[in-house]
Chains A and B, each alone.
Chain A
Amino acid sequence: MKNILLFSLLTLPALLFTSAIAGEGHKHEHTHDKHLKITSDTQAQAHAHGHEHSHTAGHNDAAGKQAEGHDDVAVIAAAMAEQVGIRVAAAAAGTIERHIPLYGELVTPPNRQAQVRARFPGMITQINVTVGQRVKRGEVLALVESNDSLRTYPLKAPIAGIVLQQFASQGEYTAGESLFAITDPSELWAELKVFPAVLDDIESGLPVHIEARSGRYDSTITHILPASGQPYVYARVTLDNSSGRFAVGERLSALVDAEIMQVALVIDNLALQEFAGQAVVFVQNGEQYRPRAVQLGRTDGRFTEVLAGLKAGERYVVANSYLIKAELEKSAAAHEH
Chain B
Amino acid sequence: MIEAIVRFSIARRYLLLSLILLLVAAGLWSYQRLPIDAVPDITNVQVQINTEAPGYSPLEAEQRITFPVETALYGLPKLKYTRSLSRYGLSQVTVVFEDGTDIYFARNLLNERLNAIKNTLPAGLEPQMGPIATGLGEIFVYTVSAKPGATDTAGNALDAMFLREVQDWIIKPQLAQVAGVVEVNTIGGYDKQYHVLPDPLKMLTFGVSMPQLAEALRNNNSNRGAGYIERNGQQLLVRSPGQLGSISSIEQVVVALNGTVPVRVKDIAEVALGKELRTGAATRDGEETVMGTVMMLMGENSRTVARGAAQKLEAIKASLPEGVIVEAVYDRTTLVDKTIATVQKNLLEGALLVIVVLFVLLGNIRAALITAAVIPLAMLATITGMVQQGVSANLMSLGALDFGLIVDGAVIIVENCMRRLGLAQQQQGGSLALRQRLEVVFSATMEVIKPSLFGVAIITVVYIPIFALTGVEGKMFHPMAATVVMALLAAMVLSVTLVPAAVAVFMGGKISEHEGRVMRAGKSLYRPLLKGVLKLRALVLLAATALVAACLWLASTLGSEFIPQLDEGDIALHAMRITGTGLEQSVQMQEILEQRIKQFPEVAKVFAKIGTPEVATDPMPPNVADNFVILKPRSEWPNPRKSKAQLVAEMAAALEQLPGNNYEFTQPIQMRFNELISGVRADVGVKVFGDDLDTLLRLANSISQLTGSISGAQDVAVEQVSGLPVLSVNPKLTALARYGLTLAAFQDLIAMAIGGEDVGLIYEGDRRFQLVVRLPEAIRTDIDNLNYLPIPTATGYVPLHEVASLAMQSAPAQISRENGKRRVVVSVNVRERDLGGFVTELKQRISTDITLPAGYWLDYGGTFEQLQSASKRLSIVVPITLLLILGLLVLAFNSLKDALIIFSGVPLALTGGVLALWLRDMPLSISAGVGFIALSGVAVLNGLVLVSFIRQLWQAYGDLAYAVVEGAITRLRPVLMTALVASLGFVPMALNTGTGAEVQRPLATVVIGGIISATVLTLLVLPVLYQWLHSKDKRPAVEGTT
Contact = CB atoms under 8 A, between A and B. Distances in A.
B279 interface: no
A332 B813 CA distance: 13
A214 interface: no
A148 interface: no
5 contacts: A14-B879, A16-B910, A36-B649, A38-B665, A50-B716
Contact of A12 (B552, B571, B585, B661): B552
A6 B904 contact: yes
B904 A9 contact: yes
A77 B656 CA distance: 11
B581, B725, B827, B875: most-surrounded residue (chain A CB, <10 A): B581
Interface string B709-740: 00000111111100101000000000000110
A29 B555 contact: no
Contacts of A333: 576-579, 623-624, 661-662
A10 interface: yes
Interface in A1-48: 2, 5-6, 8-10, 12-30, 35-48
B322 interface: no
B543 to A, nearest CB: 13
B644 A14 contact: no
B716 A53 contact: yes
A251 B205 contact: yes
Given A19-B924, A22-B871, A39-B565, A30 B714 contact: yes
B564 A41 contact: yes
A54 B648 contact: no
Interface string B867-887: 110110011001100100000
B835 interface: yes
Contact of A10 (B682, B878, B904): B904
A75 B999 CA distance: 40
Contacts of A67: none
A40 B552 contact: no
Interface residue range, chain A: 35 or more
Nearest to B42: A42
Contact of A16 (B205, B552, B581): B552
B574 A335 contact: yes
Given A56-B717, A101-B785, A197-B799, 16 more contacts: A13-B907, A16-B914, A17-B933, A21-B926, A22-B870, A25-B867, A26-B834, A27-B559, A38-B565, A40-B565, A47-B682, A57-B716, A77-B657, A251-B202, A330-B660, A334-B662
A77 to B, nearest CB: 6
Contact of A6 (B585, B864, B900): B900
- B interface residue count range (under 10 / 10 to 19 / 20 to 34 / 35 or more): 35 or more
Nearest to A100: B788
A253 interface: yes
B562 interface: yes
A20 B645 CA distance: 25
B334 interface: no
Contact of A334 (B204, B720, B829, B1029): B720
A250 B827 contact: no
Interface string B895-915: 000001101101100100010
Contacts, number: 298
Contacts of B564: 40-41
A134 B521 CA distance: 134
B561 A29 contact: yes
A18 B874 contact: yes
Contact of A46 (B666, B832, B863): B863
B910 A27 contact: no
Interface in B634-667: 644-645, 648-649, 652-653, 657-662, 664-667
Most buried by B among A43, A77, A100: A43
A200 interface: no
A103 B665 CA distance: 55
A29 B716 CA distance: 17
Interface string B237-271: 00000000000000000000000000000000000
B788 A74 contact: no
Interface of B: 201-202, 204-205, 465, 472, 541, 545, 548, 551-552, 555-556, 559-565, 567, 571, 574, 576-579, 581, 585, 589, 592, 620, 623-624, 644-645, 648-649, 652-653, 657-662, 664-667, 674-675, 678, 681-683, 704, 714-720, 723, 725, 738-739, 784-785, 788, 790, 796-799, 801-802, 814, 816, 827-832, 834-836, 863-864, 867-868, 870-871, 874-875, 878-879, 882, 900-901, 903-904, 906-907, 910, 914, 923-926, 928-929, 932-933, 936, 998, 1028-1029
B600 to A, nearest CB: 15
B833 to A, nearest CB: 8
A324 interface: yes
A28 to B, nearest CB: 6
Given A25-B836, A39-B565, A326-B659, A49 B682 contact: yes
A41 B565 contact: yes
Contacts of A251: 201-202, 204-205
Interface in A231-252: 231, 250-252
Contacts of A48: 664
Nearest to A23: B560
Contact of B620 (A46, A193, A196, A335): A335
A332 B589 CA distance: 17
B907 A50 contact: no
Contact of A5 (B541, B658, B932): B541
B704 A57 contact: yes
A197 B717 CA distance: 46
